[in-house]
Amino acid sequence: MKTNAAGMKLIKDSEGLRLTAYLDMVGVPTIGWGCTVGVTKADVTNKRTITVQQAEDMLQKELAGFESGVLKYVKVPLNENEFAALVSFSYNLGLGSLQQSTLLRLLNQNNRADAAEEFVKWDHAGADHHEVQALKTRRLAERALFLTPIDDGGINPPELPDLDIPSDQDINVTLEDIENEVLKK
């Protein structure tokens, strides 16, 4: 199973495209559409850049691992939208978070309604676990996609909320502050 168009849009809109390496809000070296595999602190320091095509290639490669992981951990049949929502969730938080989550436990008990409500509980970040509006918005969009049924004619396009992702300037701690702190370590 592959991530459908609605899932790809959700991931790309949530992550945003940055062609220069940066540290994300919790200090992880990142580039492209939130790609982290093979991205180092040195890439951030040296301001590594990539092309849009390289960003797309990196996204597809990383997504394959998350798609495989979702299929490995979920023990009940999924429709395309449920699968895409879980891939987006895992892409952002990691497969370990999915594997240890109440969301997965409830889903594997075939309790989809309660599992869907678990998405919104994952809207905190950082050492102090503060609520992040961008994460709250993403989790609501993932929940909406997860709950969007598939009809016999194909995918019903979900009505996802517009993802108003804050710019670097809107975040209380600037990315430069995070980069400086992480690069000291």
Number of Cβ within a 10 Å radius of residue 143: 20
Q: Are 119 and 136 in contact (CB under 8 A)?
A: no
Contacts of 11 (CB under 8 A, 6+ apart): 3, 33, 34, 59, 63, 87, 88, 91
Among the listed residues 15, 62, 67, 80, the single catalytic one is 15
- C-alpha torsion sign, points 11, 13, 19, 25: negative
Q: Assess whether 15 carries a catalytic annotation.
A: yes
Q: Which pair of tokens denotes residue 162? A: 């517009």
Q: Give burial (CB, 10 Å; 0-12/13-18/19+) of 141.
A: buried
Residues identified as active-site: 15
